[in-house]
Amino acid sequence: MEKLRLIIAREYMTIVGRKSFIVMTLLIPIIMMLCMALPAAIAYFNNTASEAETVAVIDESGRYGAAIADNDLFHFVPLRADTVPNAHEFYKKANGQLAAVVVIPADVDSTAAVTVYSENTINVSLKERISRQLSDTLTRARVASYGVPGLQRMIDESSVSVDLKSVKWDDAGNENETSAEVALAVGLILAFLTYMFVLLYGAMIMNGVIEEKTNRIVEVIVSSCKPFQLMMGKIIGVALVGLTQLAIWVVLMTIVGAIASTVFAPAALSAAGSMEGVQAAMEASDNFDMAGLVQMVMSVNYVPILVSFVLYFIGGYLLYASLFAGFGSAVDQASDASQATTPIIMIMVVALYAGMACIENPNGPMAVWCSMIPFTSPVVMMVRLPYDVPLWQLALSIVLLYATAAGCVWVAARIYRTGILLYGKKHSFKEILRWIKG
């Protein structure tokens, strides 16, 4: 045990002491925030950076030329059809001043067909603008054509949008407003966290194994301890590194959240202790009903979710980390490693996609199966968790996961103890099977 402790401590200190660890720990949250902010920023710059483009509207119908209103992006100029005998020539003569030409045919009332021409590719927002505005106008025109007085008003008033609240009872019948979106976000965040963690730290383990092997230090180490101790020391040490990183992020988020809360909505946020709460609240801070949102965020029952998350996280990590260690010991150089890990990464990607697919139907057969199979369950179950998974399924899935993880550790240990001492040639799958049996 003393040796294991030493190995864990060394692994931990070496990685945490690296500059790259400190940089990555600080950089990843920033990058993630940038990623979230990027779409908004792009949209913002798209909408404001350029001047509005001019679009000619040739109105053969004589009624709808002015139907399309300008917006920030486009300025529409209605023209009477008889002033423009040839649309293409007209476009040419404009010398690039025109972005496009819209032709509203004379029979548009019956066909509802309109064409937009340009020598450039016509962008989506223009098409949307034209079709939405004309659809509205044409609909109104058609309604009016029935000659029923007040029909338009009736239609307007009879259009209903249902405001669906979902309320979850607890045992005592107390009502808690829940939000599927919040549950979904929590599940996805946890699934993604598991996925990232396993891949990131799995790769770290593998690189460590390969480094020791190419360094040849491994021979000295295993003359002092069992290969199994070295492997487990590495796996546990790296796990602790990951948890440290996670803890740092949680603290950072909480600090950022606390600052945000004092700036934006002190009362509402003081209730939100959790990371998700802070995050969701931050995003929504100025245009939502803060208290309501926070209540929804809090209504998800976190304790069982977090407990299961930790269990799945550890099990899944153990399973994949041991595979990475085993594969790492069987290859000679980092360059061969990517080939060896392709199957592992593919399984992880499948798990992530399965998890996303399960959002649609978190208790459907696919979700249930994928949350049972140990290789996908750590990711998929995270998505299902907020939707109250039956206890027997949880138990079965966890038992399966840990049994498989134990099996993987056993197999990896057998590959490892042989692989680390063999240099200079590639090992066939058959050979590796022999190591496992031996």
Partner 1 sequence: MSNLFIEVKDVVKQYDGHVALNHVDLNVPEGCIYGLLGPNGAGKTSLIRIINMITRQDSGEVLMNGRPMKLDDIAHIGYLPEERGLYKKMKVGEQIVYLARLKGMGKLDARNTMREWLARFDLTEWENKKVEALSKGMAQKVQFIATVIHRPRLLIFDEPFSGFDPVNAEQLKMEILRLRDEGATILFSTHNMESVEAVCEQISLINHSQVVLQGYVDAIKQQHKQNIIAVELQGNKAIAANEALYSLLPPPAVGKATHIQLKTGVDVRDAIAWLNDHYALAGFHEVLPSMHEIFIETVKTA
Give the Cα separation of 369 and 350 in Å (integer). Answer: 13
Q: How far is the CB of 397 from partner 1 (least distance, A)?
A: 38
Q: Which amino acid belongs to residue 294?
A: V
Closer residue to partner 1 in complex, CB, 265/415: 415
Closer residue to partner 1 in complex, CB, 45/423: 423
Q: How far is the CB of 216 from partner 1 (least distance, A)?
A: 3
DSSP classification of residue 66: T
Closer residue to partner 1 in complex, CB, 129/417: 417
Q: How far is the CB of 213 from partner 1 (least distance, A)?
A: 9
Residue 237 and residue 11 in contact, taking contact as beta carbons nearer than 8 Å:
yes
Q: How far is the CB of 419 from partner 1 (least distance, A)?
A: 13
Closer residue to partner 1 in complex, CB, 60/431: 431
Closer residue to partner 1 in complex, CB, 219/289: 219
φ, ψ of residue 47 to 5 degrees: the values are -80, -25
Q: How far is the CB of 229 from partner 1 (least distance, A)?
A: 9
Strand ordering across the sheet containing 53-59:
74-80, 53-59, 98-104, 115-117
Q: How far is the CB of 307 from partner 1 (least distance, A)?
A: 36
Closer residue to partner 1 in complex, CB, 66/433: 433
State the DSSP string of 34-61.
HHHHHHHHHHHHHHHHSPPEEEEEEESS
Q: How many CB atoms lie within 10 A of CB 210?
A: 23
Category of 77 on φ-ψ map: left (φ > 0), alpha (ψ -120 to 50) or beta: beta
Give the Cα separation of 350 and 40 in Å (integer). Answer: 29
Q: How far is the CB of 224 from partner 1 (least distance, A)?
A: 4
Residue 109 and residue 142 in contact, taking contact as beta carbons nearer than 8 Å:
yes
Q: Which amino acid belongs to residue 329?
A: S
Write down how long the chain is: 438
Residues that bind partner 1 (CB under 8 A): 2-3, 6-7, 10, 14, 18, 212, 215-226, 421, 423, 431, 434
Closest by Cα among 402, 204, 417, 383 to 318: 402
Closest by Cα among 203, 420, 248 to 332: 420
Residue 408 and residue 322 in contact, taking contact as beta carbons nearer than 8 Å:
yes
Task: Measure the CA angle with vertex 229, ends 409 and 223; round to 5°.
Answer: 130
Closer residue to partner 1 in complex, CB, 188/225: 225
Q: How far is the CB of 17 from partner 1 (least distance, A)?
A: 9
Closer residue to partner 1 in complex, CB, 153/430: 430
